[in-house]
A and B are shown apart, each in its own frame.
Chain A
Amino acid sequence: MPKQLLKAMKLMIFFLIVVCLHVSAAGYGQKGTVTISGKDLPLEKVFNVIKKQTDYVCFYGYDVLQNARPVSLNFRDADVQEVLKAALWGQGLDFSITGKTITIMKRVMAAVGPGPSRTIKAVGVVYNEAGQPLSGANVTIKATGKGTITNAKGGFELPAVPEESPLVISFIGYAPQVVKVNEGKEMVVYLNLAKNELDKVVVQAYGTTTQRLSTGNIATVTAEDIEKHPSMNPIAALQGQVPGLVVTQNSGYASAPIRVELRGRSTINPNLIAEPLYIIDGVPLTVLNLAGDNYNSGSQGLTQNGFSGPAGGQSPFFSINPTDIESITVLKDADATAIYGSRGADGVIIINTKKGKPGKTKLELNAYSGVSKVTNRFDLLNTQQYLAMRREAFKNDAIYGIAPDAGNAYDLLVWDTTRYTDWQKFLWGGTGKTVDVKVGFSGGDKLTTFRVSGDYHRETSILSYSGADQRAAVQFNLMHKSLNQRLNVSFTSFYSYTQSDLISLSNQVTLAPNAPAIFDAEGHLNFGGWDPISDQYPFGNILQPYTARTGFLNSKLSLQYEILKGLNFSTSLGYSTIHNSQIQIFPIASQSPVLSPLGSSNFGNNNIANSIVEPQLEYKRVISGGTLTVLAGGTLQSVSVDGNTIYGSGYVNDNLLKSIANAPTKDASDVAGQYKYAAVFGRINYSWKNKYILNLSARRDGSSRFGSGKQYGNFGSIGVAWIFTEEQWIKDHLTFLSFGKLRASYGLTGSDQIGDYKFLTRWSSAGIIPYQGSASYVPLQHANPNLEWQVNKKLEGAINFGLLKDRLNIDLVVYRNRIGNQLVQYPLPTITGFAQVTANLPATVQNAGWEANLRLKLIEKKDFALSFDLNAGSNRNKLVAYPNLAMSPYASRFTIGKPLNIVKVFHYLGVDPQTGLYTFLDKNKDGIINNSLNNTDDRFDRDLSVRLDGGFGTDIRYKNWSVNLFFTFRKREIKSSIYNGYPGSPVNQSIQVLNHWQNPGDYAKRFARYTTLGDATDQNYYNNSDGVYSDGSYLRLRNLSISYDLPVNWTKRAGMQSCQIYFRGENVFLITKYNGIDPEAQGLGTMPPSKIFTGGLQFNF
């Protein structure tokens, strides 16, 4: 049998024994002395006696005792060491005691150095708590800083250690240990996982680090934080958790896309989205935005075929089960993101799912259910008030020759004026229901670990007519190490299936309160009753359900092999695929019968595939008292996104609508995009005595989005950190500081966030009706072969403090990002044929700001713990440079030195008491107020950026009870939701409009005279004035969570490890000065976020 295999087997048996002993040693009291007597006792028996009588356990390899002979002993209440010394005397064996662990080993012959500077040889092995060898752990001689790293088996050998110097053993994520070298003995070191936040493992680009040692800006949201939110979408849980990250859900639908922006708006282009790079278990989730996008609404997610459904698209993360997530890591600055190159220009969000851990197989069961209700309702006019408004409006408009007739005053003259429907109650009166059931198994041994889990979730919304969102997901993880510990294989995969049944009905609550009933006497849709606007009858949607089914598979296989000590080759092969199919039917019954309609259906499909290969070489060694890590790697990513829609029409029968084959006429369109990305990169990290850290990275990126000759760009970053609390003079003088770090980074990254094929002329016949029986082609875009990389320059500085033995941690960050050579959809006059072209703009946008993070563990006792968390970020966006702005299409939108998110508005002065018209400030005093968009003489800049965003929370634990509160806050100005068109039009208004001008001499009224004229100049101006903006700042109790752990003796009896009962609330309350009901429901009648309350049980076996 090969030697190595034998060795590995020995090692394995040793581990098994260790584990067995470890487990059986648990639960015994504190005892220290041994009573033993007998003749020819085998050593095993002696060790058993020690184990029984004390809380020490003995570890030894099976061959250690091969040549041992029985011993005769006679001790009473003797010290363990004494007994062992006697038992091992003359056996060629040694022992060492670390904590409560006694390790028995063969005696190693020591190399004896000459003279006064006597050195000894140190040989040892480093394990983690579970007994797995730690490869790549640092072993340094404290006195000299010299050292080595451990090999694949955790082993190390230092030939010349000064006799009196201890060794420092450290490994990322573990508490370092200082051990004394015992001459001639193999040292066995067990490292324990770090308990403090500073030393816990955090995920970084292509590896792991700790908050202590990182040179970049890395924020982590853990599983516990994510699980507290009953949202179906894990990205929603990030809101308020990470300073600088602004998360906004676009609509109340659970599947709706979520807009994520890190550190402000980076692009001038209103039609491009600068989203972070998402990496799920190592596989990037890149969705090509083929649908054409908008800065304000964000990506349409995985529905790129142009058929976005009631929710305006679908978030890909809706398919990810939040409870399978171990952590979400947000990388922000150049140092942390540069290695992802262009893809990481707008930040990187790394989602890692849960992995198995060695140990007993664990079974976890979790189930919860809950209800949701609308948080608040708008105060709208009742029928009397509404009709009075309409009549008054017509009275006022008489001077323009407008008289009410059946065409313009159907609500007064045709409809029943005695009806009243509270449409909000009618449409939002439902109770949403949520059910979630989850089961998970995990476990493994030192060589192989696994985790499998399954989850089912179903929820409905508060809409009275709504479908359900459902998700079923399975997750699997397997990790295996070869016997010789040099090969590491891991496989992670999840598959989820979602089904969204939606009905578009959220924004119809501002219908006239006397509008006719939805259904007629026979229960059919009441088109007839809505004459003369039966073509605008708004409830046809009830019979036009939309269904989207999505399958999402994400898999990664990674292999790592230790070529030489410190030199590892690894590669990861990742693949993800999303298939989405959609259908929405438009039955004859849902359309106005007077139009003699035919049925139609819309069928859609979307396919997204990402694949990635990332070979890497990592080399690590200890040089001159510091640790040098060199990483070189390459990335090949390929993305293909395609989609199609088939519109079937002409159905004469509603029963066949779900079959496209039965459609008499079909109209199809498709989209397809391909994106390839290739890069080589390198990273050099040098950490000297964990005091000075330097991190350099460089890369060369290629993207298929650029034309020939412009495809490649070079980028890089530098990061430095100084842990000043490692300096002796700080240690001596600033004793209250337990940790202090200064760090800075600077880097260049590129960005290619534009659509694909923008450099190419494109003609298509898709969706174009043939003429004369011949296919019809139309051109699709202006081609721009000169496109090149956008360049983002990021600068950041930060200081981190730990006080009171790290119980208080404060991080303060300042940054400045400058984004130049902007890639934009440059607006063109349509006389050129198209309204825009994708181009580089010589403009520079700056995002500068600060971020703060504070964590305080105020009380940490066995039965009582209290901690606080606060994070906040403030970004100031600015257009720094724009050559010749005045002669550009952006002249009337932007101002140099001002944020991109400004609007240019008139200054509202109030209602003229004589005329009842809105009045405005004539800024340039030329006697007229100029409303043309390209004349901004009378306008003021108003900043709509998020000015401050963050969250704070507290955790309170008392005995078995835990309470967690999490608040989010945001400071910004937004459009008030009170203004709904112009009061007097046939839509309902807020009761605030009652405070309006009626007669000459009415002073200080909030609203102008009622009018039916939508194009009345003053109404237009008002809509473009600061009068319609409101402070949209808020403080929200986003999450409340209360849990109770059943006492251990109860759960033990039931065979459980633990059992928890919990209660969670989402959107519990809101404090805002916003003129509306919720700053997240902008626009009168927009559905506000719901309140959700859930209760559940969790069992661990």
Chain B
Amino acid sequence: MFLFHFPKDSERKWSVNYIWLTLIIILFSQVGCKKLVQISDPTNTITTNETFNDSIDAASAIMGVYSKLVNTRKLLYIANGGATVYCGLSSDELINFASSSDITQFYTNTLNSNNTFINAYFWIPAYSCIYQANACIEGLSASKGINQNTKDQFIGEAKFIRAFLYFYLTNLFGDVPYITSTDFNHTSGATRTPQSQIYQAIINDLKDAQNSLPADYSYSGGARTRANAMAATALLARVYLYQKQWSDAETQASKIIGNSNTFNLTMDLNQIFQLNSSETILQWQLNTAYDPYNATTEGVNLITRNANSAPYCYLSPQLLNAFETGDQRKAAWMKSTKFAGKTYYYPYKYKIGPTQKSANADPTEYYMILRLAEQYLIRAEARAHLNRFSDARADIDSIRLRAGLSNTTAPDDADSVLAAVAQERKIELFAEWGHRWLDLKRTGQADATLKQIKPGWAAYQQLYPIPQSELVNDPRLSQNSGY
């Protein structure tokens, strides 16, 4: 090394010293150059531009939204059992056994805005997925590396997911901020959007999805695990129903029911929730390669470990008493456990629970998002409002037939037929996606029904509170009244 090279005489010494000085000056003058503080891009992440530069990465971004919706590590999030269980508790279907205050608040309808489930299981996952859907829509729209067809398809899926989540957000919370941008500078001070505008946006998204997505399941390899035009249509039928646009609801539901090449009521009640059953319009896929068990989150949480262990939630007497004699759904879709001398019934639509699950086995059930039976009931309700009573009865009877029940006896008046639809929805769709809670609210029955069984019921409790932390972090947001 040159450092050990000692000069021998003074002349040499000077020249060496000047070389030294020059070297040092060169070294120092290099500092300040940008390159010195340039770090390579992270090895374990890619940028938004890279993500939407080609269709493979862009597909991964779309898959990421689905994955987030369903893979919740056994927690009941909004789109993976949360709506079923927590909305079920809020209505008259379910009663909690576990007594943590976060859960109890749903049952007693005394939610406070610091409830961690409201925030962590509903609000945050919903908006986090909406953000990603928005990011996909923005990224794809700006992309130059992806062909138009693929772009449209991906955008259509993102719009379906966005519409789906806003549907639940607005039904649970009322007016919520409607966000379509990823720019936090614009969205951080958002205010609440009136529900009517949110519904209009949902309808627009679903129409776009209907137009840009294929009607079959070819692009998901035959599996009914990605949103297509049919899924958009089914959800649109529901949205029109909620919006009391009866004929539109009837039209959309008919599109699904009429598509008998693809959709048929699965006659075996135990087979409906199996993967890709003929009744399926959309299911979330379970992936056992990462989570080694083949059970749905609902199954794991709701099914008891054995016939003598405590349930997480159990079915209310109001629901148990609503079943008609001979209804086969009672035997097929519920099960009981005896704990500390008392018998509890719990939902058993999904059959694989914590002890039935098997490691590394292929799943036999997927998580059901949209199914044909609901479309029959949507159409029945729409037709009842349109005074097409016999058509409505026919739709109801399709469902009753499968349950082993005789045809409905509802006479030709709207109230009777609607009551028959409501009864059928209560039974057919119990412990499924919070249908009962939403139905009670949209049909104006919530106060009358819940007042009788929930002490301290008040009308404001129909809406969940906006999470406290959101109000803190966005002072422009307001709370629902009553909270």
Contact = CB atoms under 8 A, between A and B. Distances in A.
Interface residues of A, number: 97
A778 B64 contact: yes
B235 interface: no
Contact of B290 (A487, A665, A834): A665
Given A665-B289, A665-B360, A779-B48, A595 B474 contact: no
A408 interface: yes
Interface in A386-427: 401, 405-408, 413-414
B38 interface: yes
Interface string B251-293: 0000000000000000000000000000000000101011110
Given A649-B292, A769-B287, A831-B187, A774 B60 contact: yes
A829 B287 contact: no
Contact of B360 (A413, A650, A771, A772): A650
Nearest to A561: B3
A833 B127 contact: yes
B47 to A, nearest CB: 5
Contact of A702 (B37, B60, B179, B359): B37
A768 B114 CA distance: 28
A277 to B, nearest CB: 17
Interface string B282-306: 0001010111100000000000011
Contacts of B354: 595-596
A532 B310 contact: yes
B184 A833 contact: yes
B344 to A, nearest CB: 10
Nearest to A886: B475
A837 B310 contact: no
Contact of A676 (B8, B37, B57, B305): B37
Contact of B37 (A673, A703, A832): A703
Contacts of B33: 678
Nearest to A638: B39
A804 interface: no
B45 A778 contact: no
Interface string A803-844: 000000000000000000000000111111111010000000
B188 interface: yes
A932 B310 contact: no
Interface in B33-79: 33-34, 36-51, 57, 59-61, 63-64, 66-68, 70-71
A650 B99 contact: no
B123 interface: yes
Interface stretch (B19-27, B142-150, B396-404): B19-27
Given A770-B67, A776-B60, A831 B309 contact: no
B37 A763 contact: no
Contacts of B112: 1015
Nearest to A535: B305
A668 to B, nearest CB: 10
Given A598-B359, A702-B36, A776 B64 contact: yes
A688 interface: no
Given A778-B68, A829-B477, A830-B470, A674 B39 contact: yes
Interface stretch (A157-165, A851-859, A887-895, A939-947): A887-895
Given A680-B32, A829-B474, A760 B20 contact: no
Contacts of A828: 184, 188, 473-474
Contact of B472 (A672, A769, A770, A933): A933
Interface stretch (B202-210, B218-226, B327-335, B368-376): B218-226
A406 B340 contact: yes
A1074 B393 CA distance: 73
A563 B21 contact: yes
Contact of A833 (B67, B182, B292, B310): B182
B131 interface: yes
Interface in B406-462: 455
Contacts of A649: 292
Given A768-B68, A1015-B110, A677 B37 contact: yes
Given A678-B37, A774-B63, A634 B179 contact: no
Given A594-B305, A594-B355, A769-B287, A833 B474 contact: no
Interface string B181-205: 0101001101000000000000000
B341 to A, nearest CB: 8
Contacts of A596: 354-355
Contacts of A598: 292, 359
Contacts of A924: none
Interface string A508-526: 0000000000000000000
B51 A777 contact: yes
Contacts of A776: 60, 63-64, 66-68
A757 B42 contact: yes
A835 B306 CA distance: 40
A932 B470 CA distance: 12
A229 B334 CA distance: 65
A559 B3 CA distance: 9
B40 A674 contact: yes
A831 B177 contact: yes
Given A407-B310, A414-B340, A711-B37, A932 B468 contact: yes
A615 B24 CA distance: 8
Contact of B475 (A617, A775, A831, A887): A887
Given A828-B184, A830-B128, A1015-B105, A487 B220 contact: no
Contacts of B50: 763
Given A711-B37, A777-B60, A763 B287 contact: no
A16 interface: no
Contacts of A595: 305, 354-355
A775 B290 contact: no
Given A634-B27, A779-B135, A829-B473, A770 B39 contact: no
B64 A765 contact: yes
A667 B467 CA distance: 32
Best-buried of A672, A831, A933 by chain B (most CB within 10 Å): A831
B61 A763 contact: yes
A1066 B395 CA distance: 80
Nearest to A778: B64
Contacts of B32: 678, 680, 700, 702, 712
Nearest to A889: B473
B252 to A, nearest CB: 26
Given A407-B99, A768-B71, 4 more contacts: A406-B342, A634-B28, A779-B48, A933-B469
The 6 closest A-B pairs by CB, nearest first: A833-B131, A406-B340, A678-B36, A829-B474, A776-B67, A762-B45
7 contacts: A676-B39, A678-B31, A771-B63, A776-B64, A778-B64, A833-B134, A834-B131
Interface of B: 3-4, 6, 8, 17, 20-21, 24, 27-28, 31-34, 36-51, 57, 59-61, 63-64, 66-68, 70-71, 97-101, 104-105, 110, 112-114, 123-124, 127-128, 130-132, 134-135, 176-177, 179, 182, 184, 187-188, 190, 220-221, 223, 225-226, 285, 287, 289-292, 305-306, 309-310, 339-342, 354-355, 359-360, 455, 468-477, 479
